[in-house]
Amino acid sequence: MALINCPECNKEVSDKANVCIHCGYPLHELQSETISNSQSKKVVIPSFKEYSDKKIHVIKVIREITGMDLSGAVSLVEQDIPIVKDGLSYNQAKEIADKFSKIEVEAKIFDSATTLTYVNPVKDKDKICCPKCGSLEYHTGSRGYSLFTGFIGSGKVVMTCLRCGNRWKPNN
């Protein structure tokens, strides 16, 4: 049990109390706000730096969700890691992700405390990252069997980006 200061009268009260014993201020609302802030989510979409047929639809959805003007929505979409909204409940984040899934764009939901990293493949030559999106999340495996080529080249190493699905051969 710890003592906290009441936001109304600034006197010490137990953190377990529902109301302040001095002034009657409801403390349970304050406690529920801190719980929801620790569980806040953010919605992230893929970057659309290059032209895509989905880019215009994504901009429309972003303007609808955030109320941004056209230039603000375009600059958001062209960022390395576009965070649409932060500080949402899970249900709000799921609603936004569903709006993007209707236009066939994968929106991911992360905790607000999660830091997302992006590596520029042109500048950072010493880090292994996806040459298409710069993500550090990838899977390394063999190419596998193909009906067209059979077992020819099935043992060659292929890297697959877990963010955008791009496949590439590692450079020696």
Contact yes or no for 41/112 (Cβ under 8 A): yes
- The letter for the amino acid at 157 is V
Tell me, yes or no, if the pTM score tops 0.75.
no
Mean pLDDT over all residues of the chain? 77
Over the stretch 148-163, which tens digit does the pLDDT of each residue have?
A: 777 776 678 888 887 7
172: confidence class by pLDDT, cuts 50, 70, 90: very low
Over the stretch 117-129, which tens digit does the pLDDT of each residue have?
A: 665 555 666 777 7
Task: Give residue 68's pLDDT.
Answer: 86
**CA–CA gap between residue 33 and residue 64 (Å, rounded):** 27
Is the model's pLDDT at 142 over the cut of 80? Answer: no
